[in-house]
Amino acid sequence: MASADWKALTSFACRLADAARDVTLPAAAAGIACEDKSGGGRFDPVTEADREAERVMRVLIEAHHPDHGIEGEELEPRPARGSFVWSLDPIDGTRAFICGMPGWTTLIALLHERQPAVGVIDVPRLDERYVGTGEAAWVESGGDRQTLRTSGCTGLGEARLSTTDPYLFAGTEAEAFERLRRSIRVTRYGYDAYAYARLAAGSIDLVAESGLSPHDLNALVPVIRGAGGVVGNWAGGDDLSDGQLLAAASPALFEQAVRLLSGDRLPARRRSSTKWRDRVP
């Protein structure tokens, strides 16, 4: 496709985020009832706002891009008649949403030939939007854009790590994450996809998670890579199909984290007193 078409598709992705906000923000203000869709397993909440936000985004896609496929978290997939598929997660962080916390997001990705090409991490309650294509930007309400870059952190001893909940890991994954956590300067929990947005903005350096579905991670990849970060699995590869995701601010940091997650020892490294290079837009 021509570059002008990619620009239009990126603008359309932001239009989808606006439409989802029109549903989720009033719902958050009004108070939220939820259902448990786990079927008796680990609590997996869903709200009517999840479903309605996905519906309104689907209506727009079907009207403006009828050949594009749609794969969302809450509703049945629509097959593509071509090479483009939209990946939709109307509310990522539903637990935060039902608890009145502000860090939940809407995740929108456009896949071309099954690869994430455009990603939007929208944070309605904080009025923040992170957009990734070949580069990444923070888009303000008025449409102004600020280029995003990761911190560039290269050492575990200076790194800031995040994961949604360490108790979601079990067995060898829990052991691997604990090895990583012990080598990090500071670890923060509970931010869901917002942690990846802040990695792209430079205030988080490393995120490690597992058990993710495609709609959880598709939008993250273009944003992180567009900001100069690295995304792969815990073994250092590009295959994210098993739901493991490791995102890092630099290739060097990614490689060190992979070695710890895989059980390799790292040489002793003196912790630097250099201040973190936060680049908060």
Does 171 lie in the same domain as 62? no
> Residue 232 forms beta bridges with which residues?
246
Whole-angstrom distance, CA of residue 80 vs CA of residue 100:
36
The overall average pLDDT reported for the chain is 87
Does 183 lie in the same domain as 244? yes
pLDDT of residue 91: 92
Backbone angles phi, psi at 73, to 5 degrees: -75, -35
The string of pLDDT tens digits covering residues 250-278 is 999 999 999 999 886 544 333 333 322 23
Whole-angstrom distance, CA of residue 216 vs CA of residue 93:
10
Tell me, yes or no, whether 200 lies in a domain.
yes
Does 164 lie in the same domain as 104? no
Domain that holds residue 170: 156-261
pTM of the model: 0.87
Tell me, yes or no, whether 167 lies in a domain.
yes
Residue 50: closest CA among 95, 89, 100 = 89
Tell me, what DSSP letter sits at residue 78? B
Residue 58: closest CA among 69, 45, 42 = 69
pLDDT of residue 134: 81
The tokens of 163 are what?
Answer: 């994961």
CATH of the domain at 35: 3.30.540.10
**Residue bearing tokens 């290079």:** 277
pLDDT of residue 73: 84
Does 112 lie in the same domain as 160? no
Tell me, yes or no, whether 138 lies in a domain.
no
The string of pLDDT tens digits covering residues 36-78 is 555 555 655 567 888 999 999 999 999 999 999 999 988 899 9
Alpha-helical (H) ranges within 104-170 are: none
Whole-angstrom distance, CA of residue 113 vs CA of residue 116:
8
- Cα distances (angstroms) measured from residue 152 to each of 112, 182, 194, 228: 28, 21, 19, 8
Tell me, yes or no, whether 193 lies in a domain.
yes
